[in-house]
Amino acid sequence: MVRPGTLKWMGLVLFAVSISSFLTSYFIIGYVQLSAVFAGWLLLSIVLLLVSTAGGYAANPVSLIQSYRHVVRQVLEEVGLHDINPLFLPSRISGFPSMYISLDLEEPPENLPRRLFIFGGGLGVRLETLGSYLINELGGVGEGLSSAEAFLRSSLQSYLELVRGVEVTEAGDDILVKISGFNREVVDRDPPPVNIYVQVAGPVLAESLDTPVYLRELSQGGKHLLLSFTMV
Amino acid sequence: MDGVPRTSIFIVSLATAIALISTILIILGELRLDVYISLYILAYYVLRALYSPFPRAVDRRLRISDVLFFIVFSIIVAYRVMLIIAPEVLMEWLAAV
């Protein structure tokens, strides 16, 4: 991978060479075809310079996500809830879009306190996931499934560059999220509550529909991940 | 091409497109510089749409080139239109410049 600094220097050198060569070939030598080639270089150098100076953070923070997954897995394994399908709550219920995992999920909880461990009936874990923070970071998600799909595209595909495509469809009572071209480095046979795509899609769906959604099934087929949610 | 950022694929595609356009037009014996430049700009916009969405920071930067290339393209189009509808006025302007 070429470092952004190197790319900037390459852009600068190409810009200097192409602009001087263009001016020389057009105004002094008077050779149009040669000038056209240098004009192409000039255009490319402008794009290269602009792209190389675009922000200093990693576009694809895979290592950060891996460390985050590790922490979530450890917490859930510690309390024996790592293989329970999670419930996702909108901010209306829990103050902030959240993931709630508990053995006792007959009734969706109401007005959950903003704490990690919830005691009442059985032990529950309430986590503000990556998806919850993306909703906050990217300025919220609109109402309806089409807004959820647009948000998942802009966050997973464009912002984090972790997928090639996202489709959200309704199938009876279920909401299906089909993620194509997902990054295997950030999944690695994770159980449902640790799976990063579940953690992003869940809060987004819950928030856009303004109702709790339960992950019914997580399946993988070839290059696709299929997440099946049910409204509670 | 898993793992290669879209931005890198965009830059490589743009370089390839520019090389192809200039090679083909030179072989065809094209001598109008504005034809080359307008086709480069057209290729830029096509690839920009094809590889969108880009990360937000890159997208913000590329908006600068979007505007810049649009201005250049508009000047080329205006020049060609003036050349057809009022060549004598255009020649007067160019002589004044």
ipTM: 0.90
Are the Cβ atoms of A47 and B54 closer than 8 angstroms?
no
- The CA–CA distances, whole Å, from B42 to A33, A205, A214, B4 equal 19, 38, 47, 24
Task: Kindly list the residues from chain A whose CB atom is less than 8 angstroms away from the CB atom of residue B22.
Answer: 36-37, 40
Judged by a CB distance cut-off of 8 A, whether residue B47 touches chain A is no
What is the predicted pLDDT for the residue at A58?
A: 52
A139 φψ region: left (φ > 0), alpha (ψ -120 to 50), beta (else): left
Nearest CA in chain B to A49: B61
- The CA–CA distances, whole Å, from B17 to A8, A52, A143, B7 equal 21, 20, 41, 15
What is the predicted pLDDT for the residue at B14?
A: 96
What is the predicted pLDDT for the residue at A28?
A: 92
What is the predicted pLDDT for the residue at A2?
A: 56
Are the Cβ atoms of A60 and B5 closer than 8 angstroms?
yes
- Locate the domains of chain A by residue range: 4-52, 62-231
pLDDT digits (tens, 9 = 90+) for B35-83: 999 999 999 999 999 887 777 778 888 999 999 999 999 999 999 998 8
CA distance, residue A161 to nearest chain B CA (Å): 8
Nearest Cβ partner for B14 among A47, A53, A181: A47
DSSP string computed for B15-75: HHHHHHHHHHHHHTT---HHHHHHHHHHHHHHHHHHHPPPPHHHHHHHHHHHHHHHHHHHH
Task: Kindly list the residues from chain A whose CB atom is less than 8 angstroms away from the CB atom of residue B19.
Answer: 40
Q: What is the DSSP letter of A56?
A: S
Task: Kindly list the residues from chain B whose CB atom is less than 8 angstroms away from the CB atom of residue A153.
Answer: 53
Residues of chain A under the 50 pLDDT cut: 1
Judged by a CB distance cut-off of 8 A, whether residue B56 touches chain A is yes
What is the predicted pLDDT for the residue at B2?
A: 46
Q: What is the DSSP letter of B92?
A: H
Say whether pTM exceeds 0.90: no
Task: Kindly list the residues from chain A whose CB atom is less than 8 angstroms away from the CB atom of residue B18.
Answer: 40-41, 43-44
